[in-house]
Amino acid sequence: MEFLGPRFNNHLAFIPADETRGGVLIAWDQGFIVGQPVDTKLYCLSVMMTLKLQNNSFIITSVYGPASNNSADKDVFLAELIDSQPASPNRLLTPLGCA
Tens of pLDDT along the chain (99 residues) come to 566 677 777 788 998 887 767 788 899 998 999 999 998 998 889 999 999 999 988 888 888 877 778 788 888 888 888 887 766 655 555 555 443
Please report the pLDDT score of residue 94 as a whole number: 54
What is the pLDDT at residue 2? Answer: 64
DSSP 27-52: E--TTTEEEEEEEE-SSEEEEEEEET
Give the residues across from 24 on adjacent strands: 15
| Total domain count, the chain | 1
Residue from 17, 20, 15, 22 nearest 98 by CA: 22
Residues 31 and 70: their CA atoms lie apart, in Å, by: 42
Structural domain range at position 24? 2-96
